[in-house]
C-alpha cells in the first residue's frame, strides 16, 4: 500500500533556529499516528509546516502527500487536497460569521476539487449532523469565528470543522491541552466517529491521556527535532510511567 | 490660493436668481468672503493633508443645464430594504419625476425654493461661515440654488426611512454643483434618514454639499451617510449637527467612492445630556484621496460622544482622518471617546490619522486612540488553512474589519446590501504581502 503522507529527512528552521533536524515519517490511510514529545521538541512546528504556515524554512528533506510535493502547495491548496490542521491556539476572528466562513471554506475546497458547491440548505443539513456529534450548541454558528468561545469550545469547534470538511489527513496539534475530561471525551468521540480506512490522523500531544480515548496504531517520540523512538500504543504508557527523561537516556545509551 | 476654480464658478453667467432679499445678502456676503480669502492653501491646518492645488486649477461649469433631463438608472438611486419617501437630486438638481413624496404624518419634505419664507430655513441658509478654511461652505452659500428641507413635527415618530439621493451622472462636460440639505427634528420627534451620494462612471464632477441638522430637545435622529460616488468624482461635504438637550444622533458613515473626497462633520452637543454615537468607515483603493474631519464639541453638561472609525487603504490611496473633540468650559460630566483603527493593505497606501482632544472642563471622561496596522497574519493563515483562497481570505478579513459601521443596523436587507457594496469596494486581488512577515514561532 502506498503511504498517504511521506516525510523524508525534514529539516526546518524557524527564525534562524534549527527546529526539525531530519524527521522522517510515513502514514498510511486508515492509520492513527501519535506524536509525543517534550516541550520544544518541534511538535507544533511539524503541524504548522505541514499546513503551510509562513515563517517555516525547509532547509532539507521532502514531504509528499498522495505522491505530490506538499511543500510546494499553498495552504488553501493543501486544504483542498485533504490536509487539515486542528490548531493548538484557534484564532478569534471578530466580524467573520462562523457559518459564513465554514460554508465559504467548504465550497472553496469543493470548487478547487471540481465538485459542485453546496447551497445553504444542503450545507445546513450537513452542519446539523456534525454538531450533534460534538455536542456543540447551534448558537456557536451565529457567532463570529471563535470569538468569545471558551477554551473547550474553541477546541471542539476545531473538531467540528474537521468533521465538516472531511479531510483525508487530520493533524491535531495538542487538541487536548486545556481540556477537562468531559471536553476531552467529546473531542475523542468526534475523532473516533471519523476514523475510516481512507482517512489518517496525526495526533500531536504532550500527554498520554488523550490516547486512552483515541487509540493510536503507532506512537512516535519526537525529541530534539527527530523521531527517536516508534512503537505501538504501549510506548505511550511507558513514556507516561518513565517521563521523557527516559528517552533521553535511551538515546545516549544507543549512541554510546 | 489663486483659483481658476473659483473664478470660473463665481463669474459664470449671471448671479442666481433672487427669491428673497435675505438670501441675496447671504450669498453676496459669502461670495465676498470667498473672493477675499480664496481656497485654503498649504498653510491651512485644516487642509494640511489634502492639497487643493490641483483642484483649484480645474474649471468646472456652474451647474448642469441639462440636469432635469438626464436619464438615471433606477438601481443607482434605490436601496434594498428602503421603501419610503425618496428625494432625488441629479447633478445637484432636484428631480420631482424621480422622487417619491408620499404624505407622511408629521413629516414635511420640500424643495428649498418652496420654503424660502420659512424663518427656520432663513436662519440655516443665511448662516455665516467665518473661518477661511470653510471655503466650500461659503461657495455653497454663494451659489446654492437647490436643496431640500426635511422637517419632523414635535412628538412625531416617523416610522419609514427618508432617503435623500445625490446622484452624479455624465453631463456635457465636467460640472460643479451645490446642494443643501436642512433637517429639523422637533422636540421628542424621531426619524431615520439616509443620505446617499452615488454616481456613474464617466463623470468627474465636483459636488459641494452642505447638510445642516438640528435635533431639538429629546429627539432622536438615525442618520446613515453612504458615499459611493463615481470613481472620478470630487465630493466636498460638510455636515453640521446641533443636538439640543437630551437629543440623540446615531450616525453611520461610509466613504467608499470618489477620487477626491472631503467630509467635515461638525457636531455640537449643545444641550445637557445630548448624545452622539457614530460609526464610520472609509475603504479606499486606486488613487483615491479621502479626508474625514471630525469636529465634535461638547458644549453642555453630561453630554456623551462615542465614536468608532475604521479606515482601509489599498494600492496608492490615501486616507486622512482628523478627529477633534473639544470639551468647552463648564461642560462637566462629559464622556467622550474616539477610536480610529486603520488597515494599510499596500506599501504605497498612506493613512494619516490625528486624534485631538482639547479639554477645558473638569470631571470629564475622555479617551481617544488611533492605530495603523496590517491584516492579522494568524487570522489569514487560519482562513487559508480551511481552504479559502488568499484573496478571498483577505477580502473577508477586511470586510470584517469594516463591519463595525453596520453591525447595529436593524434593516437586514440594507445591511446585506451594504455588506455587498463594501465587499465590492474592497481589494479582491491583493498581491501577497511584500514585506516579509516576522516568522511565527511555534
User: How close A162 comes to chain B (CA, Å)?
Assistant: 9
Q: Tell me, what's the pLDDT at B159?
A: 92
From chain B, pick out residues whose CB is under 8 angstroms from the CB of A42: 442
Q: How many residues are given for chain A?
A: 256
| Inter-chain Cβ pairs, chain A and chain B, closer than 8 A | 99
pLDDT score at B432: 35
Nearest to B386 among A15, A74, A79 (CB): A79
- Between B16 and B312, name the one with better pLDDT: B312
The complex scores an ipTM of 0.95
What is the mean predicted confidence (pLDDT) over B78-85? 93
Contact B385 A95 (CB under 8 A): no
Nearest CA in chain A to B400: A95
- Report the pLDDT averaged over residues A177-202: 92
Residue B382 has pLDDT above 60, yes or no: yes
* Predicted confidence band of residue B16 (pLDDT cuts 50, 70, 90): low
Nearest residue, CB atoms, A55 vs list B385, B386, B437: B437
Give the pLDDT mean for A38-53: 93
C-beta atoms of A104 and B392 within 8 A: yes
Of B285, B272, B210, B212, the C-alpha closest to B242 is: B212
Contacts (Cβ under 8 Å, ≥6 apart) of B13: B62
In chain B, the residue whose alpha carbon lies closest to the alpha carbon of A90 is B382
Look at B381 and A112 and tell me if their CB atoms are within 8 Å.
no
Residue A256 pLDDT more than 70? no
A14 and B CB contact within 8 Å: yes
Q: CA triplet B322, B348, B257: central angle to 5 degrees?
A: 55
Structure confidence by residue, pLDDT tens digits, B255-291: 999 999 999 999 999 999 999 999 999 999 999 999 9
Which among A57, A76, A80 has CB closest to B390? A76
Put simply, whether the predicted model's pTM sits higher than 0.90 gets the answer no
pLDDT band of B405, cuts 50, 70, 90: confident
Would an 8 Å CB–CB cutoff place A75 in contact with chain B? yes
SS3 call for B416: helix
Q: What is the mean pLDDT of residues B42-46?
A: 89
pLDDT at B18 over 80: no
Rounded percentage of chain B residues whose pLDDT exceeds 70: 94
Q: How many CB atoms lie within 10 A of CB B145?
A: 20
A98: distance to nearest CA of chain B, Å? 11
Pick from A16, A104, A112, A170 the residue to mutate for testing the B interface (most B CBs within 10 Å). Answer: A104
Closest-CA residue of chain B to A44: B442
Q: Per-residue pLDDT tens for A61-116?
A: 999 999 999 999 999 999 999 999 999 999 999 989 888 899 999 999 999 999 99
Listed by start position, the domains of chain B span 3-271, 376-442
Mean pLDDT over B5-30 rounds to 80
CB-based burial of residue A125 (10 Å sphere; 0-12 exposed, 13-18 middle, 19+ buried)?
exposed
B258: alpha, beta or left? (left if phi > 0; alpha if psi -120 to 50): left
**Pairing mode, strands B162-168 and B190-199:** parallel
pLDDT tens-digit readout, A198-241: 999 999 998 889 999 999 999 999 999 999 999 999 998 888 88
Per-residue pLDDT at B437: 30
Question: Are A80 and B387 in contact (CB < 8 Å)?
Answer: yes
- Predicted confidence (pLDDT) at residue B435 exceeds the cutoff of 80: no
Going by the DSSP 8-state scheme, the letter that residue A41 receives in this structure is S
User: Is B387–A76 a contact, with Cβ atoms under 8 angstroms apart?
Assistant: yes
The CB density around residue A82, as the number of other CB atoms within 10 Å, is 20
Q: Do A112 and B442 touch (CB under 8 A)?
A: no
Question: What is the per-residue pLDDT for B442?
Answer: 28
| Residue B431: pLDDT band with limits 50, 70, 90 | very low
SS3 B221: strand
pLDDT digits (tens, 9 = 90+) for B89-137: 999 999 999 999 989 999 999 999 899 999 999 999 999 999 999 999 9
Chain A residues near residue B381 by CB distance under 8 angstroms: 51-54, 75
Contacts of A93 in chain B (CB under 8 A): 379, 382-383, 397, 400
Residues B317-364 have pLDDT tens digits of: 999 999 999 999 999 999 999 999 999 999 999 999 999 999 999 899
Residue A133, burial from CB neighbour count under 10 angstroms (0-12, 13-18, 19+):
middle
pLDDT above 90 covers a percentage of chain A that reads 70
Hey, are the CB atoms on B385 and A96 less than 8 Å from each other? no
Amino acid at each position: 500500500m502506498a503511504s498517504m503522507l511521506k516525510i523524508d529527512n525534514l529539516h526546518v528552521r524557524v527564525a534562524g533556529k534549527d527546529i526539525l533536524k531530519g524527521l522522517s515519517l510515513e502514514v498510511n490511510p486508515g492509520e492513527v499516528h501519535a506524536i509525543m514529545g517534550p516541550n520544544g521538541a518541534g511538535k507544533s512546528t511539524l503541524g504548522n509546516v505541514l499546513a503551510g504556515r509562513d515563517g517555516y524554512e525547509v532547509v532539507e528533506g521532502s514531504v509528499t502527500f498522495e505522491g505530490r510535493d506538499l511543500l510546494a502547495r499553498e495552504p488553501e491548496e493543501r486544504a483542498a487536497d485533504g490536509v487539515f490542521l486542528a490548531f493548538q491556539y484557534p484564532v478569534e476572528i471578530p466580524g467573520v460569521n462562523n457559518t459564513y466562513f465554514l460554508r465559504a471554506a467548504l465550497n472553496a475546497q469543493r470548487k478547487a476539487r471540481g465538485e459542485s458547491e453546496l447551497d445553504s440548505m444542503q450545507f445546513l443539513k450537513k452542519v446539523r449532523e456534525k454538531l450533534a456529534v460534538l455536542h456543540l450548541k447551534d448558537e456557536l454558528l451565529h457567532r463570529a469565528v471563535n470569538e468569545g468561545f471558551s477554551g473547550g469550545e474553541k477546541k471542539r469547534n476545531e473538531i467540528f470543522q474537521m468533521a465538516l470538511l472531511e479531510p483525508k489527513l487530520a493533524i491535531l496539534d495538542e487538541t487536548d491541552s486545556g481540556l477537562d475530561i468531559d471536553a476531552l471525551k467529546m473531542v475523542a468521540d468526534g475523532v473516533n466517529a471519523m476514523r475510516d480506512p481512507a482517512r489518517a490522523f496525526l495526533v500531536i500531544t504532550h500527554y498520554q491521556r488523550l490516547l486512552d480515548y483515541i487509540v493510536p496504531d503507532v506512537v512516535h517520540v519526537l525529541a530534539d527535532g527527530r523521531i527517536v523512538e516508534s512503537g505501538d500504543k504501549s510506548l505511550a504508557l511507558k513514556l507516561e510511567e518513565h517521563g521523557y527523561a527516559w528517552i533521553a537516556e535511551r538515546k545516549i545509551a544507543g549512541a554510546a | 490660493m489663486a483659483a481658476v476654480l473659483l473664478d470660473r464658478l463665481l463669474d459664470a453667467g449671471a448671479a442666481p436668481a433672487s427669491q428673497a432679499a435675505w438670501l441675496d445678502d447671504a450669498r453676496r456676503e459669502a461670495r465676498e468672503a470667498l473672493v477675499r480669502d480664496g481656497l485654503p492653501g498649504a498653510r491651512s491646518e485644516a487642509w494640511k493633508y489634502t492639497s487643493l492645488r490641483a483642484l483649484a486649477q480645474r474649471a468646472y461649469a456652474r451647474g448642469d443645464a441639462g440636469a432635469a433631463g438626464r436619464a438615471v438608472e433606477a438601481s443607482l438611486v434605490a436601496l434594498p430594504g428602503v421603501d419610503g419617501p425618496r428625494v432625488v437630486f441629479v447633478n445637484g438638481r432636484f428631480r420631482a419625476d424621480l422622487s417619491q413624496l408620499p404624505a407622511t404624518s408629521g413629516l414635511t419634505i420640500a424643495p428649498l425654493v418652496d420654503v424660502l419664507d420659512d424663518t427656520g430655513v432663513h436662519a440655516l441658509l443665511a448662516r455665516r461661515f467665518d473661518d477661511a478654511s470653510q471655503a466650500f461652505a461659503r461657495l455653497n452659500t454663494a451659489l446654492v440654488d437647490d436643496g431640500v428641507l426635511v422637517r419632523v413635527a414635535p412628538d412625531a415618530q416617523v416610522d419609514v426611512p427618508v432617503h435623500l439621493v445625490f446622484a452624479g451622472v455624465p453631463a456635457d462636460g465636467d460640472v460643479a454643483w451645490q446642494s443643501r440639505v436642512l433637517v429639523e427634528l422637533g422636540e421628542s420627534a424621531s426619524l431615520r434618514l439616509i443620505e446617499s451620494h452615488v454616481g456613474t462612471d464617466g463623470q468627474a464632477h465636483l459636488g459641494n454639499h452642505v447638510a445642516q441638522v438640528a435635533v431639538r430637545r429629546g429627539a432622536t435622529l438615525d442618520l446613515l451617510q453612504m458615499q459611493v460616488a463615481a470613481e472620478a468624482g470630487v465630493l466636498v461635504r460638510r455636515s453640521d449637527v446641533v443636538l439640543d438637550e437630551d437629543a440623540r444622533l446615531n450616525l453611520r458613515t461610509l466613504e467608499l467612492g470618489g477620487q477626491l473626497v472631503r467630509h467635515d462633520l461638525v457636531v455640537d452637543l449643545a444641550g445637557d445630556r445630548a448624545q452622539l454615537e457614530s460609526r464610520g468607515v472609509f475603504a479606499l483603493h486606486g488613487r483615491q484621496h479621502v479626508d474625514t474631519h471630525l469636529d465634535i464639541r461638547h458644549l453642555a453638561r453630561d453630554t456623551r460622544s462615542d465614536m468608532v472609525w475604521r479606515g482601509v487603504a489599498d494600492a496608492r490611496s490615501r486616507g486622512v482622518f482628523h478627529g477633534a473633540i473639544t470639551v468647552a468650559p463648564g461642560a462637566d460630566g462629559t464622556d467622550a471617546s474616539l477610536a480610529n483603527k486603520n488597515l494599510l493593505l499596500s506599501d504605497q497606501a498612506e493613512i494619516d490619522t490625528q486624534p485631538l482632544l482639547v479639554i477645558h472642563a473638569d470631571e470629564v471622561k475622555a479617551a481617544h486612540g488611533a492605530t495603523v496596522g496590517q491584516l492579522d497574519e494568524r487570522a489569514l493563515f487560519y482562513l487559508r488553512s480551511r481552504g479559502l483562497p488568499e484573496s478571498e481570505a483577505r477580502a473577508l478579513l477586511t470586510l470584517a474589519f469594516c463591519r463595525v459601521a453596520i453591525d447595529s443596523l436593524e434593516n437586514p436587507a440594507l445591511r446585506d446590501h451594504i455588506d455587498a457594496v463594501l465587499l465590492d469596494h474592497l481589494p479582491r486581488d491583493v498581491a501577497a504581502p511584500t514585506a516579509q512577515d516576522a516568522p511565527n514561532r511555534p
